[in-house]
Structure 1
Amino acid sequence: MQSDAMESPARDRLAVHTITTKPWGLAEAADRYAASGVSGMSVWVEAIEGMTNADVRSTLQNAGLQVPALVRGGFFCDRSDEERERRIDHNRRLIETAAEISAEMLVLVVGATPGEPLDRQRGWVRDGIEALITDANSHNVRLAIEPLHPMYAADKSCVNRMWDAREICESINDRMLGIAVDVYHTWWDPELESEIRLAGTQNTLFAFHICDWRVPTRDFLNDRGLMGDGCIDIRGIRRMVESAGFDGWNEVEIFSDEHWARDQQQFLNDIIERYADC
């Protein structure tokens, strides 16, 4: 892709997920992001295991980073009533963590149980999120449902289209509940533009995640591409979300065995360059 200064989004809206540079611990990632001019860091729960919330917050504040999101909660689906309740309680604790580290939202990957009807599972998801709304409001932490690509419908997410997420949002109808749009999961959807427009109208367009879909894809989990290395019209989808009124973070989220094996500073440099181009 060719660089276009008038089209390139501002660097102060660039955030990177800690999973993107997984070999770095939180403190090193925070220092490196800040030194490279990245303004935001979305924090994965795996990156803060063993740390107190106070230490996490101090690390991020010392680096001058804002926190678009804590990633990831959810996983509401299970045949056992007791297990579903346990998972709701776990999400309550994640909401508290998000508030304590000044994260704007908790991203929800809703989960799936193989062999159960998807409609039944979406009901479990709706019930689980509804049980968390009071906590979200009291802690001022938004909840963002992230639809996942249909290839994950069996065991990772029963919510695969923005339409599915919108139905849950409309059913619960609370200002703290919205949708995270990840281009990797949604680029294929023929209704994407109209759903983004609706999310803008309903004020449920909470997050925008970017990477690329490699052709061919060698691994459906850990082979995401740098922006511009695949087939997704990232610039076109960015226009859609901005036309719908989104003015939040552009969050780079890349799972890649190939890129994790590289020098992570060079990888981060490449991310920043591609962000400007794409």
Structure 2
Amino acid sequence: MTAPDPRLSINQATIKHADLATALAVTAEAGIEAIGLWREPVQEVGLATAARLLAASGLRFTTHCRAGFFTMPEGPARRAAIDDNRRAIEEAATLAAAGAPGSTAVLVLVAGGLPDGSRDLVAARGRVRDALEELVPDAEAAGVTLAIEPLHPMFASDRCVVSTLGQALDLAAGLPAHAVGAAVDTFHIWWDPDVLSAIDRAGREGRIATYQVCDWKTPLPADVLLSRHYPGDGIIDFASLTRAVVATGYDRDIEVEIFNEDIWATDPAEAVRRTAEGFAAAVSPHLESRA
């Protein structure tokens, strides 16, 4: 078997039903060098134990998923959300310090949808900006980059009012790039007619915090959240998107993040193997011009 691409990172969501120890083990045993973790499995074992397990695995840490969800008006719920984001920043910093050399302290933010009873997208996005401004000092103190992740517009009402990479960059404008960047996720942005210029802008502004890949294929399932596929199994043009990201000088790890019930039901080691295979065929050929 060909060795996996050294820039491939397995986002833990791809093998969701594996506990943290198993996720680390099957990733390392497959010869993959990096992993992105999710907060829930980390919290199940405790941050200190998670950091110890990560260090023992020898894997690089690429992202911590996820925080955000702060579009609600000021009040107790918003204060609780901001405090939870501060805890997530601490988690990301601790895990990045525990990972192998080359680990990155990146916390992925999903903004949140419209508050109950609201139709005001503009106000909701304004509260995202307010939250970023409030969290920047914490992120800077911890050495963490907050990565705003735009989600496909089908999630705008209930999950994320930030739908394009351009919107994410607008929200980050004026804030320090080392503290606030963007997640470039192929599943969410492939459809955007302005995506290539937005990737170029993100590169010029130094805001590509992470590049994540998976594929899109129709028909979508009833739960559209679970409609992601292995790279190469759908219709996304990984050539143009990957080359655009590489052209910005982005030379760090690339995560595969998949939400799919059938893939989750697959043996984790097999899912990791298939992920590496898909990545090698669909993404790796377009990394040759890496900076």
TM-score range, shorter chain: over 0.9
- Establish whether residue 39 from structure 1 lines up as the match of residue 30 from structure 2: no
**Worse-superposed segment, 150-159 or 244-253:** 244-253
The residue that corresponds to 1:139 in the other structure is: 142
Equivalence for 2:286? none
CA distance in 1, matches of 2:42, 2:278: 28
Report how far residue 145 of structure 1 moved. Answer: 0.2
| 2:187 is equivalent to residue 193 of structure 1 | no
How far the C-alpha of 1:93 sits from its partner, in A, is: 0.8
TM-score, normalising length: structure 1 = 0.94
Q: Deviations over 1:143-165 (max 9, x none)?
A: 10000000000010110001110
- Counterpart position of 2:289: none
2:239 alignment counterpart = 235
RMSD over aligned CA atoms reads 1.6
User: How is 1:1-278 mapped onto 2 (pairs within 5 angstroms)?
Assistant: 11-102=5-96, 104-114=105-115, 115-218=118-221, 219-278=223-282
Size of the aligned set, in residue pairs, is 271
Q: Equivalents in 2 of 1:272, 1:120: separation in Å? A: 41
Quick check: 2:169–2:182 contact (8 Å CA) kept in 1?
A: yes
> Cα distance, 1:263 vs. partner?
2.1
Distance in 2 between the 1:51 and 1:235 partners? 39
Superposed CA offset, 1:33-64 (max 9, x none):
00101111110112122322111111011110
**2:243 alignment partner AA:** R
- Partner SS for 2:168: helix
Distance in structure 2 (CA, Å) of the matches to 1:183 and 1:152: 15
Deviates most, 233-242 or 173-182 = 173-182
Counterpart amino acid of residue 211 in structure 1: C
Matched to 2:75, the amino acid is: D
Q: Gaps (5+ residues) in structure 1?
A: none
Residues 223, 258 of structure 1: 8 Å contact kept: no
- 1:152-191 CA-to-partner distances (Å, cap 9, x unmatched) read 0001011000111011111434431100000000000000
Q: Verify the 8 A CA contact 1:142 1:176 in the aligned structure 2.
A: yes
Q: Distance in 1 between matches of 2:169 and 2:13?
A: 27
What is the TM-score normalised by the length of structure 2?
Answer: 0.89
Amino acid at match of 1:111: G
Give a deviation string over 1:74-120, Cα, whole Å, max 9, x none.
00111343321221111001101111111511000010125231110
Q: Any stretches of 5+ residues in structure 2 without a counterpart?
A: 97-103, 283-291
